[in-house]
């Protein structure tokens, strides 16, 4: 995303999500993950006292936003509610999904529990279906070590196609490397290429039919393949939220009506 696009995105996020950057083109990082994986511990360790909390607009779900500086660059970090999925079965899940889909953070960090990777990776895969800009934070690595669990970080990064960093957030271990990786993704020095989960053949056939039609309508907001999957699943909340967020997109005019801006949103 170029600085001008980011500036417009940031203004829009301010209005829609009550998330406010310090500077017009500050980069925005979201923290997603299952409950109790250490998101808030990572959030607190990085932002310290530079944070404030509130509620997501119109929801009783708490939200925390804070800033930190890494190697001279300032970032706004947003702590999302802990969720097991992004299929909107609850308000928490809808809030997390909407921020990733429509807030379009520069990077989404998925914090996973190193002692329960199999369960945790489900959410990571869902985030990777929505956006390429993902970093996996394998937290509680100290707990894993204590239990004799060895995580093949390189193998994981290779299989998933995204950067992977091990952390023990409570001891503030690994956070420097986490910041290095998210900075590299935020300014495109690293371009993750997440694996694409494949579905049954008949589903793949419908996806193939739908995606070229969705692509121009979505104009880079999210991956057409994912939207096709959600439509196949009959997810009406996504359609409703697309109307809510995408029809009022400042300079871009009526995105769903087909008139899209050349400058924003941009993948």
Ligand X SMILES: Nc1nc2c(ncn2[C@@H]2O[C@H](COP(=O)(O)OP(=O)(O)OP(=O)(O)O)[C@@H](O)[C@H]2O)c(=O)[nH]1
Q: Which residue is nearest to ligand X (CB)?
A: 82
Name the residues that contact Mg ion, by CB under 5 A: 39-40
Cβ of residue 160: shortest distance to Mg ion, in angstroms?
Answer: 23
Closest CA to 46 of 35, 34, 54, 38: 38
Considering only CA atoms, which of 47, 51, 72 is closest in space to residue 63?
51
CB of 172 to ligand X, least distance (A): 9
Residue 36: cis peptide before it, omega within 30 degrees of 0: no
Smaller CB distance to ligand X: residue 38 or 105?
Answer: 38
Name the residue nearer to ligand X (CB basis): 46 or 219.
46
Report H helices in the chain: 3-17, 39-47, 91-98, 117-130, 141-146, 153-160, 175-186, 201-218, 224-232, 236-246
Cβ proximity to ligand X, 31 vs 156, nearer residue: 31
38 binds, among ligand X, Mg ion, none (CB under 5 to 8 A by kind): ligand X
41 binds, among ligand X, Mg ion, none (CB under 5 to 8 A by kind): ligand X
In the complex, minimum distance from the CB of residue 35 to ligand X, in angstroms, rounded to a whole number: 4
Rounded to whole angstroms, the Cα distance separating 113 from 120 reads 7
SS3 category, 208: helix
142 binds, among ligand X, Mg ion, none (CB under 5 to 8 A by kind): ligand X
The number of beta carbons lying within 10 Å of the beta carbon of residue 87 is 16
- Three-state SS for 222? coil
Q: How far is the CB of 77 from Mg ion (least distance, A)?
A: 12
Q: Would you say 40 or 74 has its CB closer to Mg ion?
A: 40
The entry of Mg ion, ligand X, none that residue 21 binds, CB within 5 to 8 Å by partner kind: none
Indicate left, alpha or beta for 183 from its phi (over 0: left) and psi (-120 to 50: alpha): alpha
Q: Looking at beta carbons only, is 68 or 226 nearer to ligand X?
A: 68
| Residues forming the site for ligand X (CB under 6 A) | 33, 35-41, 82, 139-140, 142-143, 168-170
CB of residue 140 to ligand X, shortest distance in Å = 4
């Amino acid at each position: 995303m170029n600085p001008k696009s980011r500036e417009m995105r940031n203004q829009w996020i301010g209005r829609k999500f009550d998330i406010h950057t310090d500077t017009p083109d500050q980069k925005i990082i979201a923290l997603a993950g299952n409950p109790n994986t250490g998101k808030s511990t990572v959030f607190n360790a990085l932002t310290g006292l530079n944070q404030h909390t509130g509620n997501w607009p119109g929801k009783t779900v708490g939200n925390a936003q804070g800033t930190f500086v890494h190697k001279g660059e300032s970032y706004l970090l947003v702590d999302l509610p802990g969720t097991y999925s992004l299929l909107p079965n609850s308000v928490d899940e809808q809030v997390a999904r909407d921020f990733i889909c429509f807030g379009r953070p520069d990077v989404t960090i998925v914090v996973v529990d190193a002692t329960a990777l199999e369960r945790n990776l489900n959410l990571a895969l869902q985030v990777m279906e929505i956006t390429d800009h993902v970093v996996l934070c394998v937290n509680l690595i100290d707990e894993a070590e204590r239990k004799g669990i060895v995580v093949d970080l390189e193998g994981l990064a290779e299989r998933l196609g995204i950067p992977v960093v091990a952390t023990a957030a409570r001891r503030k271990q690994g956070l420097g490397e986490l910041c290095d990786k998210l900075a590299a993704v935020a300014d495109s020095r690293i371009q993750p290429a997440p694996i694409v989960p494949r579905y049954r053949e008949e589903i793949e056939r419908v996806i193939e039919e739908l995606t070229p039609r969705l692509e121009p309508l979505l104009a880079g907001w999210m991956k057409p393949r994912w939207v096709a999957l959600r439509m196949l699943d009959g997810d009406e909340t996504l359609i409703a939220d697309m109307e809510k967020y995408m029809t009022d997109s400042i300079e871009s005019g009526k995105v769903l009506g087909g008139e899209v801006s050349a400058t924003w949103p941009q993948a």
